[in-house]
Amino acid sequence: MTKAEMKDLADGFKSVAKQYNIEIIGGDTISNTKLDITVTVISKTKKPLLRTRVRENYLFAFTGELGRSAKDLKKLQNLGKIHRKSKFVHIRLRNDFVTKSINVLKAGMDISDGLCSDLGKIASLNKTGVQFIKKIPKHIACSGEEYEMLIAFDARDLKKIKMYARQTRTKLTVFAKAVRNKYTNRCKAHHF
C-alpha cells in the first residue's frame, strides 16, 4: 500500500467519523501480506432496533436493491474491476430511514449473509415461520454484504413505513410475513 493510499484510507475514516459524530479511539497495527481492517463500534441508545419482537402476521421488507454485491464480489475475486457506484465502493447506510421509522419498526438487522439467511436468523429467534408474498429471485435472495436493512413491522404500520421510505428516498420492498409454519432457508450457507 502506498503512502497516498494510506492517506486516502485515513481520510475516509475521518470523514465517516465526522459524518456520524463518532470518535476514533484506537487501532491495531500488525505486519501482514494483505490489508486487514476490523472496526468495532461501541454506542448507547435509548431505543435499540433488536432482531426480536416479531409476531405472527408482521411484515418483512428490505431497503434498496439486492443482488449486485455477489456479482461484484466475484469480479473482485477474479481481479476484475467494479463500477464506481458499486456497494463495495460507495456504501450507503440507511440511518435516515431507520431513525425516522424507529417508532414503528419491531425488528431489524443488516443484510450481511444474504436476505434469506438473515431472514432465517430473525425467524429462528422469534420462533416464527415465513410466508413469501413476493417472489424473490435466488440471486437476490442469496446475495450477501448488501449494506441494506431487513426490517419487520406490524402490518397496521405499512402506510407509515412507506411514508418514511418516501421521505428519506429509500427504496423499500415488502416481500414476506411472519406465520406459524417453519422457515427453511433456500440459500447455501456462506459468509463473504
pLDDT tens digit sequence for 3-42: 898 898 889 889 888 988 888 887 777 777 877 788 888 8
Query: Which strands sit side by side in the sheet containing 149-153, from one edge to the other?
Result: 105-110, 149-153, 59-63, 172-179, 129-132
Question: Is the pTM value of this prediction over 0.85?
Answer: no
pLDDT at 37: 80
As to burial, measured by CB atoms within 10 angstroms (0-12 exposed, 13-18 middle, 19+ buried), residue 110 is middle
- The C-alpha atoms of residue 152 and residue 149 are separated, in whole angstroms, by 10
pLDDT at 192: 52
User: How confident is the model over 63-86, as pLDDT tens digits?
Assistant: 999 988 878 888 888 888 888 888
Residue 4, all three cell numbers: 497516498
- Quick one: which of 168, 167, 185 has its CA closest to 176? 185
pLDDT mean over 147-164:
96
Is residue 178 within 8 A of residue 57, CB to CB? The reply is yes
The residue length of the chain stands at 192
